[in-house]
A and B are shown apart, each in its own frame.
Chain A
Amino acid sequence: MKARVRFFARFRELLGAEVVTRPSPGTSFASLIREVARGNGEGYAAIFDENGAFREHVILMRNGKRVEAADAEEILIADGDEIAVFPPVSGG
């Protein structure tokens, strides 16, 4: 099984633009992102809070559809999933 995780903006600087992963069946959306982000402490802390929950401004998408953080623990990754994780930028 293969899934592609894309990061944007600040997350991209910390974690890279794109990670292709081979999650085992039954991997949840949230645990996949945790796994991918784990390699970079600052990147992980930018996405997750102290309790391991998604920070509230983080935008999650799966195959072009928004994923609510509240559902991310239940949603299971399927083969070929395209995932996007990014913070809104706010400057003007």
Chain B
Amino acid sequence: MLSERERKRYRRQILLFGEEGQERLSEAEIFIAGAGGLGSPVALYLAVAGVGTLTVVDSDVVDQTNLNRQVLHRDRDIGTKKVISAREKLEELNPDITIRAIDARIDGGNAAGLVGRADGIVDCLDNYPARYLLNRVSLEKGIPLFHGAIRGMYGQATTLIPGKTPCLACIFPRAPPDEEFPVVGVTPGLIGMVQANEVLKFLLGTGELLANRLFLWDGMRAEATELCVERSPACEVCGDGRKGRAKKGRKKG
């Protein structure tokens, strides 16, 4: 049951999806991997929408070079752990939800435990090795993965539902080379909104998800393109490629 205070806070969106929808959001738990350029807008908007529990995981400290895009953090937060800075802002924005701030780097040993029993995983990471770990957790637990990534004024997003869509490795089997990527805040702002919008629709069970579709954004041309994506039968993570990969590994070992 929503409190009187919550009914008032969420009045304008209850017009959109009813008290029942709002209750669904309140009962939900979303795992946000990364409190940087994508994690900031995702967390801010899921917090004000009233998603009941937000788990935010990051191991970094706020740096001055983050502030052109990581809108959760302020100048005064430089040197503070990102998750601490994030929790402070999110609690300020919405004291009626629970923020779990976890200072950790996602690795093969802790990924599944960190995700726990979340209803969705939002990929706000900046590298593919960690993304692939979350992809595996998503598949193992049957939890959707809301993927987003950016570079410069370009971005991409897609919603990955285990069993219904390709997995991240079907679409992107190999990571691009590491680089210090150029970025201006509007790009993660926009892609983060696509991800947060997907999370809300998924929790509410409404609309059409960005499933089996890869959304590509070109900010230079203000052009959005959609490409169909499908499961790769040879995928090394969710397809037949698993066996081949395992065999290869055994031979080597």
Contact = CB atoms under 8 A, between A and B. Distances in A.
Interface of A: 6, 8-10, 12-13, 17, 56-57, 59, 61, 64-66, 68, 84, 86-92
B228 A9 contact: no
A66 B177 CA distance: 21
B80 to A, nearest CB: 19
A88 B126 contact: no
B65 interface: no
Interface residues of B, number: 38
A76 to B, nearest CB: 21
B174 A56 contact: yes
Contact of A59 (B149, B172, B175, B218): B172
- Of all A-B residue pairs in the complex, the 3 with the closest CB atoms, nearest first, are A89-B151, A92-B126, A91-B181
Interface in B112-131: 123-128
Nearest to A66: B232
Contacts of B128: 88, 90
A32 to B, nearest CB: 18
B227 interface: yes
B50 interface: no
B234 to A, nearest CB: 8
Interface string B151-187: 1101110000000000000011011110001010000
A8 B228 contact: no
Interface stretch (B6-14, B30-38, B137-145): B30-38
B174 A57 contact: yes
B82 to A, nearest CB: 12
Interface in B199-253: 216, 218, 221, 225, 227-230, 232, 234
Contacts of B39: 92
A44 B127 CA distance: 24
B52 interface: no
